[in-house]
Amino acid sequence: MSDHPSCIDISHWQGFPDFHEVAVQGVVACIMKATEGTSYVDPNRAQNYINATEAGIACCTYHWIKPGNAAAQMRFWLGTIDPVQGERMCIDYEEDGCSLDDLHEAVQVLLDDPRDLQVTVYSGHLLKEQLGDSCDAFLRDNTDLWLAQYTSGTTSWPTGTYEYWTLWQYSESGEVEGISDTNVDLNRFDGTNDQLVRWISPEGRAPLPPPQPGEVVRVDITAPKSVSVNVTVNGGDVATRRRRPRRRLLIPHGPDVFR
């Protein structure tokens, strides 16, 4: 099993990673703890989310669900994150005492949200033991599985409900350059890295890779002839001029140039 995963998941225990260094290791996606219960907010998530996305790493968040009061917990996550249209959300379903009724209630709150959220269930032995070989049609039709199982051998999961796992957390003791903690969760995606980025991103809004130094960023602007166009790059004005039909701007990633 590779120790250089394409996806990691973190919480405040990993501090504030150097995400540019993390990205160099081949990590393209990161799932961050956002909330737990009805009152806990991970203090590092907001800044880490900004830093990771600036480094070109696609991100989403998870909520650690506790037994009971599942609807209130999901409303707490919604109020904390204020997700965008189509955002992916992961329910960390592993604490003893949680029931399938709790999980169903939590998923339903997310489905009822008008922003068409994508829902993933993270779990290992708890969900496996509760589902057994049965088919939970509600979970099958409305969620996918992020499996937690620390093995280098063959994985096992509740296949009666999930035909396959989407993401597999295969280690909780990984090491990734750029993260000082030696207990980083490592994950494998059932697909390519491009598919992973599309999966973890808000539906239909997979981020573009960050421009490389010297790369030309091409921007086409269409506007009525009577409208003046003011172009700003990295906080500085590049040009202001009267619109002409289909004027093309070639903006190198670096010094401000207008052609």
SS3 11: coil
Percent of the chain with pLDDT over 90: 74
Q: What is the pLDDT of residue 205?
A: 65
Regarding predicted confidence, which is higher, 256 or 148?
148
What is the model's pTM? 0.79
224 pLDDT band, cuts 50/70/90, is low
Please state whether beta strands 40-41 and 216-220 pair in parallel, antiparallel, or not at all (unpaired): unpaired
235-244 in b/e form (b: 16+ CB < 10 A) is eeeeeeeeee
C-alpha span between 129 and 34 (Å, rounded) = 26
Q: What is the pLDDT of residue 223?
A: 62
253 pLDDT band, cuts 50/70/90, is very low
Regarding predicted confidence, which is higher, 171 or 181?
171
Q: What is the pLDDT of residue 222?
A: 62
C-alpha span between 230 and 214 (Å, rounded) = 23
Average pLDDT over residues 123-143: 98
pLDDT one-digit tens code per residue, 67-97: 999 999 999 999 999 999 999 999 999 999 9
pLDDT one-digit tens code per residue, 93-122: 999 999 999 999 999 999 999 999 999 999
Q: What CATH fold (topology level) applies to the domain 7-200? A: TIM Barrel (3.20.20)
Lookup result for tokens 């990673």: 17
pLDDT one-digit tens code per residue, 184-220: 999 999 999 999 999 999 986 655 454 455 555 555 5
Q: Where are the beta strands (DSSP E) in 20-174?
A: 29-36, 40-41, 58-64, 88-92, 118-123, 144-148, 167-174
Domain ranges of the chain: 7-200, 216-252
234 pLDDT band, cuts 50/70/90, is low
Q: What is the pLDDT of residue 251?
A: 37
